[in-house]
Amino acid sequence: MNFSQIKDSATNILSGNETKSFKLQAICDLLKSEISYYDWVGFYFKNGTNQELKLAEFAGEPTEHTIIPFGKGICGQVAVSNQNFVVQDVSAQDNYISCGWKVKSEIVIPIFVNEENIGQIDIDSHTVNPFTENDEALLEFICKKVAEIL
């Protein structure tokens, strides 16, 4: 896995003429296929004026968590804190929404447009302790690029 090549691929995807939905799905597919421990990749966005997130595009097993209230779970906490949240072992988290017994860790990075947190990228892994600073930097890069098309 070469994070530099993934960044280049993501930039190419996001600069194309396809729809926003197509581009977001392509980013999910790219990350899931290129990074072995990214077992679920999805975007959540603020649901209108509601204090909740709504699932948009994703790659991986379907989830029942299509709506997440602000403050609930890792995604909901990021919607409130506006900070990255890296959870190397979900069993150690009190405020965690289980997406399945296979999920062992999660990383969530917010997306900002005009300094407002409008959504996030959410990655689940079936591996404990897989995420590094490189993952965080890659996902921050992708979120900045995604913000440019929103």
Beta bridge partners, 69, equal 52
pLDDT of residue 103: 85
Q: What is the pLDDT of residues 126-143, one digit of tens each?
A: 999 999 999 999 999 999
First CA to last CA distance, the chain: 28
Q: Is the pLDDT of residue 74 over 70?
A: yes
Could you give the number of structural domains in the chain? 1
Of 22-31, 59-68, 90-99, 105-114, the poorest mean pLDDT is in 90-99
Cβ contact 113:73 at 8 Å:
no
Q: How far apart are CA 43 and CA 83, in angstroms?
A: 16
The token pair that represents 11 in the structure block: 């930039």
Task: Identify the H or E element spanning 138.
Answer: helix 133-147
CATH of residue 50's domain is: 3.30.450.40
Concatenating the DSSP letter of every residue in 27-90 gives HHHHHHHHSTT--EEEEEEE-TTSSEEEEEEEESS--S-SEEETTSHHHHHHHHH-S-EEES-G
As a whole-number percent, the residues of the chain with pLDDT over 90 amount to 85
Q: Is the pLDDT of residue 30 over 90?
A: yes
* Backbone phi and psi for residue 56, each to the nearest 5 degrees, phi listed first: -110, -125
pTM: 0.94
Q: Which domain holds residue 66?
A: 3-147
